[in-house]
Amino acid sequence: MPYELTVVDSFTDRPFAGNPAAVTVVESFPDDAEMQSIAREMNLSETAFAVSRPDGSYDLRWFTPAVEVDLCGHATLAAAHVLGGTARFVTRSGLLTCTTGEEDWIEMDFPADPPVAADPPVGLGIPGVKWSGRGRSDIVVELADAAAVRSLRPNLAAMVIPSVRCIIVTAEADVAGIDCVSRVFAPAVGIPEDPVTGSAHCTLAPFWAERLGRTKLVGEQASARGGIVRMRLAGDRVVLGGQAVTVSKVHMIV
């Protein structure tokens, strides 16, 4: 059957920046193998499939080119953008509510994932580690300063670690109006470096809130494309804010 997909750049206010995701709204989910094939064909960090429910919410699933994942921030933002900015999604990570917030940024209510201190894996190959820890499925590594994050040239092969989705590398920010910078590497799920990772900020928000002493934060993901994520820590939840821009439509004949 044919598929209509919308490609959205998330966590940015301009095309060709932020993190691109493909979104398709379908009557029912195709089988898993077909969804994985579509995601592989799109070859973006995520392709999202949404199915309407009788109560007005949507079932939402996310696929990288290699695997289905439990949580994806930028593709959720893209899906909400396609649906008009306000939407409720039923997902593997529970109910995710998206609303249009200040300055028309889309705000997403996600589960917080505070990291617990843990030694970095042997052989990770990241110099100058100041602190390291683990979230539910990610490793967090704090470096001495933002310049070290920006200049890092990682050994991606060393970042393929059993049971670890992403390696989040972070430091306090070096520019006004930004609280922290980060980069995210996920070769284990087919993404060498993710341009902007909403779900990583579910970990970065509690991490930096504790260190900086405030619950409202702004993060810059310092990838080549770059992007901005607003964060508001609210107990065991994180409200992530972002902008999004539609860049293309894809008609796929299968």
* pLDDT single digits (tens) 43-87: 999 999 999 999 999 999 999 999 999 999 999 999 999 999 999
Out of 3.10.310.10, 3.10.105.10, 3.40.640.10, 3.60.20.10, the CATH code matching 116-240 is 3.10.310.10
| Residue of 4, 41, 46, 172 marked active site | 46
Q: Supply the pLDDT for residue 102.
A: 81
- Residues 54 and 180: their CA atoms lie apart, in Å, by 41
CATH topology of domain 3-109+242-252: Diaminopimelate Epimerase; Chain A, domain 1 (3.10.310)
Give pLDDT tens digits for 93-130. 999 999 998 888 999 999 999 999 999 998 999 999 99
Give pLDDT tens digits for 144-197. 999 999 999 999 999 999 899 999 999 999 999 999 999 999 999 999 999 999
Q: Residue 1: is its pLDDT beyond 90?
A: no
Q: How many residues are given for the chain? A: 254
Q: Supply the pLDDT for residue 104.
A: 85
- Residues 156 and 166: their CA atoms lie apart, in Å, by 11
Q: Supply the pLDDT for residue 254.
A: 80
* Same fold? 3-109+242-252, 116-240: yes
Q: Supply the pLDDT for residue 84.
A: 96
Q: What does the block give as tokens for 216?
A: 């409202």
Is residue 4 flagged as an active site residue? no
Q: Supply the pLDDT for residue 44.
A: 96
Q: What predicted TM-score, i.e. pTM, was given to this entire model?
A: 0.94
Q: Which whole number is the average pLDDT over 18-43?
A: 97
Q: Supply the pLDDT for residue 223.
A: 98
Q: Beta 166-172 vs 180-186: how paired, if at all?
A: antiparallel
The answer to whether the beta carbons of residues 126 and 111 sit under 8 Å apart is no
Q: Supply the pLDDT for residue 69.
A: 94
Q: Residue 89: is its pLDDT beyond 90?
A: yes
Of 153, 159, 152, 148, the residue nearest 123 (C-alpha): 159
Contacts of 225 (CB under 8 A, 6+ apart): 12, 16, 17, 18, 19, 195, 196
**Sequence spans of domains, the chain:** 3-109+242-252, 116-240
Of 238, 231, 239, the residue nearest 113 (C-alpha): 238
